[in-house]
Amino acid sequence: MLYSLKALALSSLLACPISGTRGFSEPDDQVPDQETDGETTPTVTPNSSVPTTPEPRGPIRVPDEDDFRRILPVEERKPLLDEDYLNGYGTFSEGSVKRALLVTLAYIGQSGALRGPIHDAWAMKRFLERQGYEVVWLKDFTNVGSAVEKFVYGNFEHLKKKAERLRQVGDIVQAEYIERQIYPTVQSFENHNFPDNGPCSKAINPKTMSGKEANYYCSKSNIKKYMKELARKTTPGDNVFFYYSGHGGLTFNTNIIDAPNNDNMFNPFGNCIKDTFIHDEFVATLPAGSTAILMFDACHSGRMANLRYRARPDGTYKTHSKKRTWPKANVISISGCDDNETSLDGKSGGQLTRAFLNVAGFTYEDNTNYNMTIKRETDYKKYLENIYTKLTMKNLLVELRGMVQEKQTPQIECSLPYDMEKYYFGMFMGIPNEPVNRTMRRLQGLMR
C-alpha cells in the first residue's frame, strides 16, 4: 500500500488504524535516518531569573504510608468533581509563569478508538498542577462529574459499610482485605488516575456540543489557536509544557523520498497538524530565556517538534540535517517512538506517559501484570529529590526505553546540546512549589 501511495500522490497519509496503537499503519519500509553526528557540548542559552511559581491548582493529598485509609473528606472532594475542573476548562493568565496545554483524542465510538488518552491526560493534568502549571485541556470527550462521583465514591461508600459490618462481627482479616482494595482506588483517582468506566466519559458530538465543549474541543483550529496563544503569552523566565496523546502519522513527498522531506503529524478532527506548524509557529516563536517541554504519546512521533539535536543513550547527540530557524528558548521534546514506529495504547494509559510518570518518581507502577496498573502516588519529597538531583537527561532517556515494550523507542530531542549527564529534568520544569534545598536552587540557576 505504501509504495502505490508514493507513486500516485505528492503527499499521502497512511490512514489505516491499528488496534492497540496510536497511529496509522507502520510503513512497509523503514524511514532512513538522515542525521549526522554532532559534537556534544554543554553550551546553553542564558536564561533570565526564574520567578516564583504559583500555588498548585486542585486538591491533592499524598496517601500516608502508615494509613492507607487516608482520602479526601466529602467537602474537599467537591472541587475535584466540579465539571469545569474535571474537563480542564482553564485559561492562560497574563501573570502566570507556568502554563500547560494538553491535547487528547480518544475517538470514542469510532474505528481506531483509544482507551489510554483519557487516563493519560488526567494523570498529566494532576502531575502538572502539582508543579503549579495553569492547565488548559482540549479533547474530544467530556468527563461527567455525576458519573465520576457515583463510580468512585458511590462504590466506595457501599464497600466501606460492608467492611464496617465485617469488623463488627469480628472478621478483621476480610474487612481489611476489602479496605485495601477500595481505598487505593479512590486515592488513585484523587491523585492521578481517571476511573476506567465508560459512563464517566462521553464522546463530544460537534453538532450538538455545548458552548464550553466547543471552546475546548480538539479541532485543528482550536489546537492551533491555543498553541499560538500559549506562545504569545510566554515571556522570558516562563515555563511551558505541551502534551499530546492520540493518533500520529507520516506524510511523504514523492519527489524526494527521504527523511528530511517526511512530515510528522498528529491527527485532530478537521485534518492534521504537521511538525512544520509545531516547530515554525510554536516552538520557534517562544522567547529566549523561556523553557519548554513537549511530549508526544503517539505513533510516528520521533521528530514531531523538529528540534536540532537528538539525544543518544550514551549522552551524545545526532544533529538534524534540515536548515531552519532554530528556537531561541530552552526546549526539549519527549516522544513515545521513532518516526517509523508505532506507540502502544493500553487500558490504563499510553506506554510513554505511564513510563514517564514512573521514571520521574511521581507514580508507582505495579509490574506484576501486563497492564502495569498504577497503584498510588509516591512520596512527593522523594519525587522532588529525584528530578532535581538524580534524574539526568541521560537517565531519563535510558529509563524510558527500559520501561516501554519492544518495537517502540522513546526519543528525546533538544534545542541545544545540553550536557546530558549534568542537566536534570527538573531544571526544565522550573522551581517546584514545595520548599527546595540549596542544591536544587543551585542546579536551577544553571538554566538562567
Partners of 444 in the β-ladder: none
3-state helix, strand, coil in the chain (%, to 5): 35, 20, 45
Residue 276, pLDDT > 60, answer yes
Which residue ranges make up each domain of the chain? 16-24+34-59+82-140+204-445, 145-202
What's the pLDDT at 68? 56
Each residue's pLDDT tens digit, 127-165: 888 888 999 999 999 999 999 998 888 878 888 899 899
What's the pLDDT at 415? 92
Q: Say how far apart CA 8 and CA 72 lie, in whole Å.
A: 59
Runs of H (alpha helix) within 259-379: 275-277, 351-360
What count of other Cβ atoms lies within 10 Å of the Cβ of residue 139? 25
pLDDT level of residue 418 (50, 70, 90 thresholds): very high
Mean pLDDT of 401-428: 88
Q: Say how far apart CA 252 and CA 264 lie, in whole Å.
A: 9
Mean pLDDT of 347-370: 72
Residue 342, pLDDT > 60, answer yes
What's the pLDDT at 113? 84
Residue 151, C-beta contacts closer than 8 angstroms, at least 6 positions apart: 195, 197, 199, 200
Burial zone of 176 (CB within 10 Å; 0-12 exposed, 13-18 middle, 19+ buried): middle
Residue 149, C-beta contacts closer than 8 angstroms, at least 6 positions apart: 77, 81
CB 343 within 8 A of CB 248: yes
What's the pLDDT at 432? 57
Q: Which of 288, 368, 376, 387 is nearest to 44 (CA)?
A: 288
pLDDT level of residue 290 (50, 70, 90 thresholds): very high
Each residue's pLDDT tens digit, 298-323: 888 888 888 999 999 999 999 987 76
pLDDT level of residue 396 (50, 70, 90 thresholds): very high
pLDDT level of residue 335 (50, 70, 90 thresholds): very high
* Higher per-residue pLDDT: 212 or 61: 212
Residue 246, C-beta contacts closer than 8 angstroms, at least 6 positions apart: 22, 103, 104, 105, 106, 107, 114, 117, 266, 267, 268, 298
What's the pLDDT at 310? 93
Q: Any idea which residue has 491499528 for its cell?
A: 18
What's the pLDDT at 429? 83
What's the pLDDT at 293? 95
DSSP state of 27: P
Query: How does the average pLDDT of the chain come out, rounded?
Result: 75
Mean pLDDT of 403-430: 87
What's the pLDDT at 199? 83
How many CA atoms lie within 13 Å of 163's alpha carbon, on the beta-carbon side?
A: 18
CATH of 16-24+34-59+82-140+204-445, one of 3.40.50.12660, 3.90.1150.10, 3.40.50.300, 3.30.70.2610: 3.40.50.12660
Residue 229, pLDDT > 70, answer yes
Each residue's pLDDT tens digit, 236-259: 989 999 999 988 887 654 333 233
Q: Which of 149, 125, 148, 152 is nearest to 136 (CA)?
A: 125
Residue 285, pLDDT > 90, answer yes
Which range (107-111, 256-260, 325-329) has the least confidence? 256-260
CB 113 within 8 A of CB 20: no
Q: Say how far apart CA 214 and CA 216 lie, in whole Å.
A: 5
SS3 state of residue 37:
strand
What's the pLDDT at 22? 59
DSSP state of 25: P
Residue 22, C-beta contacts closer than 8 angstroms, at least 6 positions apart: 114, 116, 245, 246, 247, 248, 297, 298, 299, 336, 342, 343, 344, 345, 350
CB 119 within 8 A of CB 348: yes
What's the pLDDT at 80? 87
What's the pLDDT at 339? 84
What's the pLDDT at 46? 30
What's the pLDDT at 393? 92
What's the pLDDT at 242? 96
